[in-house]
Structure 1
């Protein structure tokens, strides 16, 4: 969109964003200030009961968050996301929020929305967040609470939304596609488009549990859609449809042998990090492998970012099966596979994930005019954001 003297530019195209990656500036920090949540959603990869005393005991204190964010300022952090669990469950949420606002951070908040009260609305009205985001699990009580497994949560969710909207606060909406709400997904997406036409989003991938809980993982797997259902859903939503057409038309590269055995070739650890409720830092949301996590209570953010995180780029692929499949695949840029997800799915960082492969090829067939990896003759455009060893940044 262009107006006189004003042009909208994607964040990724801004010099600030490009420079942060080139210099490894910690521009974006996520705080999971609690894992506790009033809901018990079937698909959730992190939630613990609201009354879990041990989880509450392990949560970072206000004073610890204060100290960590002082370091973050020195490291160049601009954006801070508060999430959970549900961050509003913490009684000192307002103190944490105002602490970050007073330090000058651009603060985002992800919440289930069921705990929104007048005090929260007044807080956000007086000190607006950069963004507020919540998830729509259903637009009927039956469907929403089939997912949340919390009686009364649908009414609380809708009341929270109405309070925010009545105060003139913008709320970004997202939804996640599960077997439990697939029948209502057209109505859910229509609700999101109606109330959040530009910034709504759909997620059809379900992460497994960060704590590895086998019972909960089986439950999550049972909620996953089939490849055919995901493709059909992608086709029904204009944003998803256009997004996949663009990706399948521009992010496929020529299949070839690379001779590059590095495990991590993504943007993890380049300009963002996640800090769990217990003070454990991860280079990306999904990377919970113990070799790549850092306990801030035994160290500090500066040491973690400057000295510890870069070690991940020394990790190498060891599985021949991976080298012969994902390692040379021309569809790698549009596949959901990554070392972190491979670890969550199998316990191994370089495991081949056939379900991910099947879905990726199906998407190329559906949205890329039937092109296949072998037939594609375009020059390589592989995304490789990892610093080259020995090069100064």
Structure 2
């Protein structure tokens, strides 16, 4: 099977959120220094491409970036806070086969506290509801699991099932990219129980269709690794690192990095 390489394009370090677990917003790029969209034309065809930031919707030329990359990518993904609803919906209408994930950290109170943005959850939900009216079908939320939001996971998953949208997740970590080295990875027994309940909810997936259920089963397996991490257990099996071969990053200045986690 042909390996699909993922390119993550960090289009800007500007961000309107004030997340506690990520401090990119303290080091914003100057728009005039950000990579001109024309340079993205040099990327080979066939990559899975993630447009990220910062908040990529803060770029005035974001539509130009999508216009260049949409025909080149095997799948074009947008990672966004969902704050700029009209701009996001405009992209979805013009480029309907993209994947959109709206980042949230939990239900309203948790999300707005952790992301440091007033009415952030409200904007995120309104964006998802507006996207459901477009022809863009691969839409959903994404959440970074931490001891600060694990108690919202099951309810957040149930909300996504009710809305008929995806829920992607990852685990909190530290990175030069985030300018953070003090994020707390582990949690107490109560947090472990919340993550375990989330895994059970995924395994009892109420979604319609075999494909949707299989996605949830796969996420349950993935979250076993997160549970081990929260407990401080041995990580278990880890596949070989794909940095530089399976995925790479391009920062707002055009610098290429094999990984956004290690500064080595």
What TM-score, normalized to structure 1? Answer: 0.53
Q: Which structure's CA Rg is the greater one? A: 1
Is contact 2:24-2:177 (8 Å) kept? no
The answer for the alignment partner of 2:254 in structure 1 is: 279
CA offsets, 1:75-116, max 9 Å, x none? xx4321111111111010000001112445531111111112
Is contact 2:104-2:121 (8 Å) kept? no
- After TM superposition, the structure 1 = structure 2 runs for residues 165-314 of structure 1, keeping only pairs within 5 Å, are 165-170=132-137, 171-196=139-164, 199-203=166-170, 205-210=171-176, 213=179, 216-218=180-182, 220-221=183-184, 224-226=185-187, 228-237=189-198, 238=200, 239=202, 241-243=220-222, 265-289=240-264
**Closer, same or farther: CA 252–48 of 1 in aligned 2, 3 Å:** closer
Is contact 1:78-1:106 (8 Å) kept? yes
- Measure how far apart 1:146 and its partner are: 0.4
- The DSSP-based 3-state class of the residue aligned with 1:156 is helix
CA offsets, 1:33-85, max 9 Å, x none? 112111111112x62259x4x4434321112323x32xx23xxx432111111
The answer for the alignment partner of 1:29 in structure 2 is: 7
The answer for the alignment partner of 1:16 in structure 2 is: 2
Q: RCO higher in 1 or 2 (8 Å CA, sep ≥ 6)? A: 2
* CA–CA distance in structure 2, aligned partners of residues 146 and 79 of structure 1: 32
- Measure how far apart 1:212 and its partner are: 7.4
- Measure how far apart 1:121 and its partner are: 1.6
Q: Are 1:148 and 2:115 an aligned pair? A: yes
Unaligned runs of 5+ in 2: 203-218, 229-234
Which of 104, 129, 145 matches 1:162? Answer: 129
* CA–CA distance in structure 2, aligned partners of residues 246 and 217 of structure 1: 21
Which has more strand, going by share of residues?
2
CA offsets, 1:143-178, max 9 Å, x none? 221011112323222221221122253312222233
- Measure how far apart 1:124 and its partner are: 1.4
**Closer, same or farther: CA 241–62 of 1 in aligned 2, 3 Å:** closer
- The DSSP-based 3-state class of the residue aligned with 2:101 is strand
Unaligned runs of 5+ in 1: 1-14, 21-26, 254-263, 290-393
Which has more helix, going by share of residues?
1
Is contact 2:175-2:260 (8 Å) kept? no
* CA–CA distance in structure 2, aligned partners of residues 122 and 236 of structure 1: 37
* CA–CA distance in structure 2, aligned partners of residues 246 and 152 of structure 1: 32
The answer for the alignment partner of 1:355 in structure 2 is: none
Alignment RMSD (CA, Å): 3.1
What TM-score, normalized to structure 2? Answer: 0.75
